[in-house]
C-alpha cells in the first residue's frame, strides 16, 4: 500500500495542472516543491514595493486554461483575471522611429504597408496560411501526446493540411520568413519569435514563424502578475483536497524493478506512491534523481545528448515615471543577422551580446496594481550565455551588466531610463539555476529543434521507467506557459486512463 496515489515533483504549471485534474478525479495527490512558491519559471516576486515577473511576461493560447478549468468543473475567470494586450508589440528603432503591431489583423496590415508596401501581399498570404497552421501545429498538437511514430501518423491523417505545409518543418525560421516578406525590417520585426523556442532564427524550425500569426488570436496578461496563473490553479487544486508541501526538495526517485515507486527528500523522508510525475528538467530527473545506474544505457546516452537552450537574464526595474513606452511589450529593433550573431558569435563563445534581442516589458501599462501609485515596472530581457569566457562569473559582473543594459536602452534607443529608476533587481542565469533548479538557467529547458521535439523529446509517459510521467518544458510541447500547462493536462488524462 503506497502513501499516495501520485507524487508530483515540482509545482510548476504542468505539475499543478496535472495535480488538479488528478485530485479532482479522487486520486490522492501530493505536490513537493523545493521553493516557497508555486509557478516555477512562471512566478512573480515582490521587491521594494513592486511586483516583478521573473520569467514569461504574457500568454498566448488562453484557451488552454479554459480547457483546464472546464476539466476541473470551474470557470477560468473565477480563478485568473486575464487582461487582453493590445498592441501586441511596439518596436523602437535605433534612429528613434516607432511602430506597433495591433491585435487587429487589418491594422497590422496597415503597419506592414507603411514599413514596406511590397510586403502587403506577403502579409495576406501569411495570415491565410497562418490561420490553418495555427489549427494544426498549435491547437491539434497541443493535446496529442506525440510519443511514437504511430501518434505522428494518426496526427497526420487527422490533419491532412499538414502534408501540404510540411516544408515548414524542414526549413529554418529565417527561410520561412523570407518566403513571405521581402523587407529586412519586416522580417526582423518577426524574428524575435524564434527566441520563444529558445533558439536563434537560423536554428529554429520554420513552423514557429506562425507564432507571429497566433499572437493576433489574442495575447493576455493575468492581473496581479504572471504568478497569478499558478496561484489560480493552486487554489483549484487545494479545493479538490490536493496537498502541497513547500521547501521539500526531492533528491531521489525510488525505483523498483524499473518502476517508479516513490521519492526521497533532502530531509531524508521516503514517500511511496503508485505513480511519480516529474515537473523538473528531464535531464535532472533521469540522470540525477533516478541515476545512471538505474537506467538503461541507451536512456543515459539519450538524456546526455540533449542541449539546453540559452539563458535570459532579466533586469527588473521599478520606475518613478513612465519612460515613453506605449505597449506592454516593446522590442528594441534589431536585424536577423544580429539575432543569429547573438547566439553564434556571443553566447556560444561565452560573451554577452550587446545587440540582437532586447525586450522591454512594462506590465503596469495594463495592470497598475503591480507598482506603487504612478510608478511602473519594467523588465529588460536579453539573451546571454550561462558560462562566461575570460574567467568571469555572473555574480562578479552583476553591476557591470545592469549598467551596460541601461546604457544600451538610453544611448541606442533614446529612452530616459536611469534617472527614473527607484528599484532594481537582476536575475542572472545563475540566479535562475539557484532559485528554480533549472540547469544552466535555461528558462526554455532543453532546446526545441526538430531533433529534440515531438517524438524526439522526452516522452510524457517515460519510455525507460514504468509509472514515471513527465510534464513541463522538457517534454512535449516544450517551453512556454500554455504548452507546459497543456503537458500537465495530457499527463493527467494519460495517468487516469492507464493507471487509475
- 318, 458, 478, 482: which one binds another protein (CB under 8 A): 458
Helices (DSSP H) in 195-285: which residue ranges? 211-214, 228-239, 282-283
Q: How far apart are CA 205 and CA 360, in angstroms?
A: 25
Nearer residue to another protein within complex by CB, 246 or 298: 298
d(CA 129, CA 45): 39
C-alpha cell at position 369: 496594481
Interaction between residue 302 and another protein (CB under 8 A): yes
Sign of the Cα pseudo-torsion (306, 428, 95, 86, in order): positive
User: Which three cell numbers mark 345?
Assistant: 558569435
As measured in angstroms, the least distance from the Cβ of 106 to another protein is 32
In angstroms, give the least distance from the CB of 459 to another protein.
7
CB atoms within 10 A of CB 301: 10
Q: For residue 348, state whether it binds another protein (rule: CB under 8 A).
A: no
DSSP three-state, residue 255: strand
At 415, list the grid cell: 529612452
| Rounded CA separation 357/337 (Å) | 11
Contacting residue, 306, 308, 448, 469, with another protein by CB under 8 A = 306
* Segment interacting with another protein (CB under 8 A) among 137-145, 213-221, 310-318, 461-469: 461-469
Neighbour tally for 100: CB within 10 Å: 20
Between residue 152 and residue 211, which ones bind another protein under the rule CB under 8 A? 171-172, 174-175, 201-203
Please give the grid coordinates belonging to residue 390. 575570460
Compute the least distance from the CB of residue 78 to another protein, in Å: 39
Q: How far is the CB of 299 from another protein (least distance, A)?
A: 5
Taking CB under 8 A as the criterion, the residue among 223, 463, 493, 494 binding another protein is 463
Residues of this chain, 8-37, that bind another protein according to CB under 8 A: none
Q: Smallest distance from the beta carbon of 268 to another protein, in angstroms?
A: 30
Beta carbon of residue 432, minimum distance to another protein (angstroms, whole number): 24
Q: Report in angstroms how near the CB of residue 497 gets to another protein at its nearest.
A: 21
- Among 97, 125, 301, 387, which residue sits at the site for another protein (rule: CB under 8 A)? 301
**Member of 90, 279, 340, 481 binding another protein (CB under 8 A):** 340
CA distance 176 to 169: 10
Q: Which residue has the cell 498592441?
A: 87
Among the listed residues 29, 108, 452, 481, the single contact to another protein using CB under 8 A: 452
User: Shortest gap between Cβ of 298 and another protein (angstroms)?
Assistant: 5
> Which residue, 202 or 424, has its beta carbon nearer to another protein?
202
Return the number of the residue (90 or 255) whose C-beta is nearest another protein: 255
Q: Cell 493552486, residue? A: 234
Q: Quick one: which of 478, 496, 42 has its CA closest to 234?
A: 42
Q: Which of 46, 305, 374, 416 binds another protein (CB under 8 A)?
A: 305
Site for another protein contains 449 (CB under 8 A) = yes
Q: How far is the CB of 339 from another protein (least distance, A)?
A: 11
Which CA distances in Å does 465 have to 299, 303, 454?
A: 10, 13, 19
Q: In Å, what is the CA distance from 284 to each residue of 114, 324, 409, 491?
A: 49, 43, 36, 19
Q: Is 467 in the site for another protein (CB under 8 A)?
A: no
Phi, psi of 151 (to 5 degrees): -60, -40
Report residue 172: phi and psi, to 5°.
-90, 170
CB 341 within 8 A of CB 356: yes
CB-count burial class (<10 Å; 0-12, 13-18, 19+) for 493: middle
**Per CB under 8 A, which region of 34-42, 415-423, 452-460, 484-492 contacts another protein?**
452-460
Nearest-CA neighbor of 297 among 307, 287, 288, 306?
Answer: 287
Stretch in the footprint of another protein (CB under 8 A) among 269-277, 324-332, 355-363, 454-462: 454-462
- Residue 286 near another protein by CB under 8 A: yes
Closest CA to 353 of 389, 329, 318, 317: 389
**Is the CB of 330 or the CB of 340 nearer to another protein?**
340
Minimum CB separation of residue 253 from another protein in Å reads 15
Specify the stretch interacting with another protein by CB under 8 A; choose among 67-75, 133-141, 366-374, 451-459.
Answer: 451-459
Residue 231 or 476: which CB sits closer to another protein? 476
| Whether the Cβ atoms of residue 311 and residue 442 lie closer than 8 Å to each other | yes
Site residues for another protein, 78-137, by CB under 8 A, read: none
Residue 285 vs 388, nearer CB to another protein: 285
- Quick one: 474 or 485, whose CB is closer to another protein? 474
Q: Looking at beta carbons only, is 300 or 365 nearer to another protein?
A: 300
Minimum Å distance from CB 287 to another protein? 11
Nearest approach in angstroms of CB 141 to another protein is 17
CA distance 443 to 79: 25
Instruction: Count the residues of the shown chain that bind another protein, applying the rule CB under 8 A.
Output: 29
Nine-digit cell at 414?
533614446
Of residues 473, 483, 482, 476, the one with CA closest to residue 454: 476
Q: Which residues of this chain interact with another protein, rule CB under 8 A?
A: 171-172, 174-175, 201-203, 286, 298-299, 301-303, 305-306, 340, 344, 449-452, 455-459, 462-464
Amino acid at each position: 500500500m503506497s502513501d499516495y496515489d501520485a507524487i508530483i515533483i515540482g509545482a510548476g504549471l504542468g505539475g499543478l495542472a496535472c495535480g488538479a485534474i488528478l485530485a479532482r478525479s479522487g486520486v490522492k495527490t501530493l505536490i513537493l516543491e523545493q521553493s516557497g512558491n508555486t509557478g516555477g519559471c512562471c512566478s512573480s516576486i515582490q521587491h521594494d514595493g513592486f511586483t516583478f515577473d521573473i520569467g514569461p511576461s504574457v500568454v498566448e493560447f488562453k484557451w488552454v486554461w479554459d480547457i483546464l478549468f472546464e476539466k476541473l468543473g470551474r470557470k477560468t475567470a473565477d480563478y485568473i483575471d486575464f487582461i487582453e494586450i493590445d498592441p501586441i508589440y511596439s518596436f523602437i528603432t535605433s534612429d528613434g522611429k516607432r511602430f506597433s503591431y495591433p491585435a487587429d489583423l487589418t491594422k497590422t496590415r496597415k503597419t506592414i504597408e507603411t514599413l514596406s508596401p511590397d510586403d502587403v501581399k506577403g502579409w495576406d498570404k501569411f495570415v491565410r496560411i497562418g490561420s490553418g497552421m495555427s489549427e494544426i501545429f498549435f491547437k491539434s498538437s497541443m493535446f496529442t501526446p506525440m510519443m511514437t511514430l504511430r501518434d505522428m501518423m494518426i496526427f497526420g491523417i487527422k490533419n491532412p493540411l499538414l502534408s501540404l505545409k510540411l516544408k515548414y518543418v524542414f526549413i529554418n525560421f529565417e527561410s520561412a520568413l523570407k518566403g513571405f516578406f521581402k523587407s529586412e525590417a519586416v522580417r526582423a520585426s518577426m524574428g524575435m519569435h524564434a527566441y520563444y523556442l529558445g533558439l536563434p532564427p537560423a536554428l529554429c524550425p520554420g513552423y514557429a514563424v506562425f507564432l507571429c500569426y497566433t499572437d493576433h488570436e489574442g495575447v493576455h496578461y493575468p492581473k496581479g502578475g504572471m504568478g497569478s496563473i499558478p496561484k489560480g490553479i493552486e487554489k483549484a487544486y487545494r479545493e479538490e483536497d490536493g496537498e502541497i508541501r513547500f521547501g521539500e526538495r526531492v533528491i531521489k526517485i525510488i525505483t523498483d524493478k524499473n518502476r517508479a515507486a516513490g521519492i526521497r527528500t533532502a530531509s531524508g523522508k521516503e514517500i511511496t506512491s503508485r505513480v511519480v510525475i516529474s515537473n523538473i528538467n528531464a535531464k535532472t530527473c533521469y540522470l540525477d534523481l533516478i541515476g545512471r545506474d538505474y537506467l538503461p544505457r541507451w536512456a543515459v546516452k539519450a538524456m546526455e545528448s540533449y542541449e539546453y537552450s540559452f539563458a535570459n537574464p532579466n533586469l527588473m526595474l521599478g520606475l518613478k515615471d513612465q519612460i515613453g513606452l506605449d505597449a506592454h511589450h516593446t522590442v528594441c529593433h534589431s536585424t536577423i543577422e544580429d539575432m543569429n550573431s547573438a547566439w553564434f558569435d556571443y553566447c556560444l563563445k561565452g560573451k554577452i551580446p550587446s545587440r540582437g534581442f532586447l525586450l522591454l516589458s512594462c506590465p503596469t501599462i495594463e495592470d497598475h496594481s503591480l507598482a506603487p501609485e504612478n510608478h511602473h515596472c519594467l523588465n529588460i530581457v536579453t539573451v546571454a550565455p550561462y558560462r562566461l569566457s575570460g574567467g568571469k562569473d555572473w555574480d562578479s559582473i552583476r553591476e557591470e551588466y545592469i549598467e551596460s543594459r541601461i546604457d544600451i536602452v538610453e544611448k541606442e534607443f533614446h529612452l530616459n531610463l536611469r534617472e527614473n529608476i527607484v528599484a532594481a533587481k537582476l536575475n542572472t542565469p545563475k540566479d535562475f539555476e539557484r532559485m528554480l533548479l533549472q540547469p544552466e538557467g535555461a528558462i526554455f529547458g532543453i532546446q526545441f529543434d526538430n531533433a529534440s521535439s515531438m517524438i524526439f523529446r522526452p516522452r510524457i509517459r517515460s519510455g525507460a521507467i514504468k509509472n514515471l510521467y513527465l510534464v513541463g518544458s522538457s517534454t512535449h510541447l516544450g517551453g512556454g506557459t500554455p504548452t507546459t500547462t497543456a503537458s500537465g493536462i495530457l499527463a493527467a488524462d494519460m495517468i487516469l486512463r492507464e493507471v487509475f
